[in-house]
Amino acid sequence: MSANVPASVDETAAFLRRGQYVGDRNLAVVVYLALKLQRPLLLEGEAGVGKTEIAKVLAAGLGRKLIRLQCHEGLDVAAALYEWNYLRQMLELRMAEISAGSTSREALAAEIFDPRFLIRRPLLQALEPHAEGPPVLLIDEIDRADEPFEAFLLEILSDFQVTVPELGTLSAAQRPIVIITSNRTREIHDALKRRCLYHWIGYPSGEREMQILAQRAPEVNEALALQVVAYVQNLRRRKLFKPPGVAESLDWAHAIVALGQHALSASLLEETLGVLLKYEEDIAAARASIDEDLNALNLRKPSLSR
């Protein structure tokens, strides 16, 4: 039960809103273009700003399968595309040799390179036909993979076909919707970037972050949400090693509600800063100015303009 693909920028904006994704007009434009021009979309931004979420919202809203390739150092073709099940092949080979000594080597070889010994990894899955329509292929955190992997990916994204030497060429009847994300811990190769439409996602403005909280953490009342957002936005202006993302704001707001609290206080901050900040140095820095920061929140109404 595949839903209709949005047919304009306005429809795309509405589509994202329905998926409870709070984005700006620019995002609606690039998502629409990616769908319309059938081009991969490269999303870059700090961790926790909602890159991965876009792929999820797309798949859910369109009723398509989400196929995720999580990148890491040393990721290779075997883990990304396909791999032969060598152990089973070896076993098969040995068994055949034992039982029917007469079978020719060639016949045996043909037999062991049978699709049933093929392990399909995400990229291959994405090229296969799917009943509900072309899947959403999420290539997540490409910056963690090694550079040669990008060259390989570039090939696949150029013609959406792969050659398995033993089986022949497989090509996608319909192109998957491709979302690539990067936290930008390193530069992505130009050639790959040129294959894609590009969009940078920054931290949201205070206003937008309030909307995200309203969507994704409705049990947090508005007064508390305002304090949370103002405090987090303030933290992002400081020189932290890893400033909190939207994901952290949400986690933090959830944690505060779970503790039965309705407003920020010094003791609450002491207890829960670890939810917001991941590095000791950052926590120490934030802890050092708790009173000051709380005062600032209380004295003037938090400024939520960008």
Partner 1 sequence: MAHLSSSLPELTRALRAGGVKIGSGSMLDANAALAAVGLAARDDVRAALCATLIRDPADLALFEHVFDAFFPLQSWTLPGSDPLTAKSKGLEAPPAARRLAQSLASRGDVQLLRGPDRHERIATGTESRLERLASKDFEQMTVAELEAARRLIAAAPARSTWRRSRRWESDSAGRSVDLKRMLRSRQTDIVLFRAPQWRPRDWVLLIDISGSMAVYSRMFLHFAHALSRGGGRIETFVFATRLTRVTRELKESDPDAAMRAVSRRVPDWDGGTRLGESLAEFSRLWGRRVLGRGAQVLLLTDGLERDGIEVLDLELARLVRSSHELVWINPLRRHAGYQPLAAGAGVLARHAHRNASAHNLDTILDLARMLGPRV
Ligand X SMILES: Nc1ncnc2c1ncn2[C@@H]1O[C@H](COP(=O)(O)OP(=O)(O)O)[C@@H](O)[C@H]1O
From 119, 247, 255, 268, residue interacting with ligand X (rule: CB under 6 A): 247
- Helix count and strand count (H, E) for the chain: 15, 9
Nearest distance from C-beta of residue 23 to ligand X, angstroms: 6
Report H helices in 22-141: 25-37, 51-62, 77-80, 86-99, 105-112, 122-127
59 binds ligand X (CB under 6 A): no
Residue 127 vs 217, nearer CB to ligand X: 217
Nearest distance from C-beta of residue 181 to Mg ion, angstroms: 5
247 interacts with, out of partner 1, Mg ion, ligand X, none, CB within 5 to 8 A per kind: ligand X
Query: Total number of residues binding ligand X (CB under 6 A)?
Result: 19
Nearest distance from C-beta of residue 30 to partner 1, angstroms: 4
Alpha-carbon span 217 to 224, nearest angstrom? 11
Q: Which stretch binds ligand X (CB under 6 A): 4-12, 16-24, 85-93, 95-103?
A: 16-24
End-to-end CA distance of the chain: 40
Could you give the maximum distance between any two Cα atoms of the chain, in Å?
A: 90
Residue nearest to ligand X (CB): 50
Identity of the residue numbered 287: R
6 binds ligand X (CB under 6 A): no
12 binds ligand X (CB under 6 A): no
212 binds ligand X (CB under 6 A): yes
Alpha-carbon span 79 to 101, nearest angstrom? 35
CB 275 within 8 A of CB 302: no
49 binds ligand X (CB under 6 A): yes
Alpha-carbon span 170 to 51, nearest angstrom? 30
Q: Which residues contact 11 (CB under 8 A, 6 or more apart)?
A: 32
The residues in 36-75 that bind Mg ion, with binding defined as CB under 5 A, are 52
Residues that bind Mg ion (CB under 5 A): 52
Instruction: Using CB under 6 A, list all residues that contact ligand X.
Output: 20-23, 45, 47-53, 181, 212, 215-216, 246-247, 250
